[in-house]
Structure 1
Amino acid sequence: MLFKPLNPMLPVWREEPFDDEAYLFEPKWDGARMLLHKQGGRIEAYTRSGMNVTGLFPELQEAAQSIRAHTAILDCEGICLRGDRSVFDDFMHRLRLGRSDKIKQARTSHPAAWIAFDVLLTTGGEHMQEPLLERKRRLDELLEPGPALLKTVCLESKGNALFELTAKQCMEGIVAKRKTSAYKLNMRSPDWLKIKHTQTIDAAIVGYRTNPFQLLIGLQFRTVKNKLVGTVQAGLEAEHREWFFEQIQRDGIRQEGDTFWVEPRLCCRIQYKDRSDTHQLRYTRFVSFLPDKRVEDCVWSYGLQ
């Protein structure tokens, strides 16, 4: 399994935080999941999808110096920090680079680091069948934390307190992990639970569907205007539907299958709890229309979402 793509264990979604003596709770860092493979002086990084991205991150050589074992596979989150915050878009920027001069420059402008939270293998063999608490102990012994490789914060039993703290620090949320859980590759396991904070954003309305009624929402990016970033259905009531159709009745509407595209001129406020690497918003909920807001001002705020 060393230096081969692996599909990491993934958490199941949960709505609300909780306290439980059977669980460990960790902050959810806002970056990209990665597995670091090391053997001697060789270190490689693989994304969750199995892509080898070692060449994009010269910082890996420094990270390797923090791993005491000759051989190891660590489960980590790759991040870029601005102050004390990990910024999703900064790390996505690093993953998009190709030219060596740009990669070298980004090491200064967008320095990367890795937050380790699990160990799959060491010089002594595989550890995936061991309980999480034992793997955490091994991780403590394995790491000599440095600027490029750190161990995540971990709190026993007090999920509500950590959830509140991560909200104050503008982090994504928390992950709850059963203390006895084994590590299961290529599986989304109920032994791990992700609990995210609700985010709010103002979006342009670029279209709609009628069965069921939902709005298609877009945002302004640096290189793309009114980019479709998702749909919203929850929270929309009959009066919202009526108001919306009154506003667009004189507009030119273009139909494609069950989708109706409108001229972006109306805005709405939504809540969401998750987004993809391509900024597709998930677990959305309608809050209100914003008749006085300009669509040009419905902007993805880099580093603030």
Structure 2
Amino acid sequence: MFISPMLLQTAPRPFSHSDFIYEPKVDGHRLIYSQQAGKVRLYTRHNNDCTRQYPEINGSTSALFPHDITLDGEIACVDPVTGAVDIEAVTSRLNTKRADKIRRLMERLPVTYVVFDILRYKSEDLRKRPLMERKAILASLALPNVHFGVIPYVEGVGEALFAQMQARAMEGVVAKRKDSVYETDRRSAQWQKIINWSYADVYLSGYKKSEFGWLAAVPDNRGKMRPAGVIEYGPSPEHKKAFYNVVKPLVTGEDRDYVYVEPRVCARVKMRNWTRAGMLRSPVFTEFIV
């Protein structure tokens, strides 16, 4: 049974408070694990069934829990060389549908289901119980195999944990109020994410025609500009107006989807990281660079 996952608000900065626990933010994709009558179903946060993509945890190659259960967590892949969580490997696993390819990827890119909440257990809906009660139930469970793990947490010291995540170049921290119930109808301030952003300076080389989006470019190792992604979030209406006024005389061409301009306007963006292909991951505009 699918349960829509609780969504987080974004905190502007790290904070510490005795009413909160703090968890490392895992750089993977959200996954709802549902086991009913000995049958497992796995769902993404948007209710897409991804059961067959993960034999390690779907019961086909592993033991089951002894009772019906619904869990919330993240699917993660860990680079065997660096120990870093690899979001591109997770994406590869999620997008692979053929059984033979899935079997091969299980060997090369095994996944771990990092569990942080329990929503149903033994036919009881736990979502109205306080978070710390749910955590206690979760901690008491025997996990089916080594591909399951439970996220650790600390109490009260969010800034200290965030500093550790920065030092390890991890994605950030999730802050959760200890008495929070599990909400599914809106983003809740009871759960907040604090992202460990990276920053980069890029040149704006064009814009989308049908909806908002600025094309970003960066110099390559020969000094020429190469595409680096699309910036879709961050600028205010004033920023957008200023950009379009400045680039009118800089237009060099267009196609069905984009207008291209000389890359003379420089902007700073915050992002999750660089992809292996050299693209900005989830860039957000912060300011123009003069």
TM over 0.5: yes
Where 2:19 maps in the other structure, the secondary structure is strand
Contact 1:72 1:120 in 2 (8 A): yes
Identify the residue that residue 286 of structure 1 maps to in structure 2: 287
Identify the residue that residue 28 of structure 1 maps to in structure 2: 25
1:135-150 mapped onto 2 (5 Å cutoff): 135-144=134-143, 146-150=145-149
- Select which of 232, 235, 253 maps to 1:233: 235
Q: Say yes or no: does 1:217 pair with 2:218.
A: no
Identify the residue that residue 159 of structure 1 maps to in structure 2: 158
Contact 1:206 1:228 in 2 (8 A): no
RMSD: 3.6
Q: Which amino acid in 1 is paired with 2:268?
A: I
1:1-305 mapped onto 2 (5 Å cutoff): 4-39=1-36, 41-61=38-58, 68-82=65-79, 83-123=82-122, 125-144=124-143, 146-207=145-206, 216-218=214-216, 227-230=229-232, 233=235, 249=249, 252-254=252-254, 261-263=259-261, 265=263, 268=266, 270-273=268-271, 281-286=282-287, 288=289
Alpha-carbon displacement from aligned partner over 1:135-171 (angstroms, at most 9, x marks no partner): 0000001143743110001010000011001111111
Where 2:161 maps in the other structure, the secondary structure is helix
Deviation of residue 29 (structure 1)?
0.6
User: Residues 255 and 225 of structure 1: is their aligned pair in 2 closer, same or farther, counting only changes over 3 Å?
Assistant: closer
Q: Which amino acid in 1 is paired with 2:235?
A: Q
- Structure 1: which 5+ runs fail to align? 290-305
Deviation of residue 38 (structure 1)?
1.6
TM-score (norm 1): 0.75
Contact 1:5 1:51 in 2 (8 A): no
Q: State the distance in 2 between where 1:75 and 1:171 align.
A: 20
Q: Which amino acid in 1 is paired with 2:285?
A: T
Aligned length: 270
User: Residues 20 and 86 of structure 1: is their aligned pair in 2 closer, same or farther, counting only changes over 3 Å?
Assistant: same
Q: State the distance in 2 between where 1:25 and 1:178 align.
A: 9
Q: State the distance in 2 between where 1:118 and 1:26 align.
A: 12
- Structure 2: which 5+ runs fail to align? 219-225, 274-278
Q: State the distance in 1 between where 2:214 and 2:99 align.
A: 39
Q: Which amino acid in 2 is paired with 1:217?
A: L
Q: State the distance in 2 between where 1:8 and 1:111 align.
A: 24
User: Residues 215 and 73 of structure 1: is their aligned pair in 2 closer, same or farther, counting only changes over 3 Å?
Assistant: closer
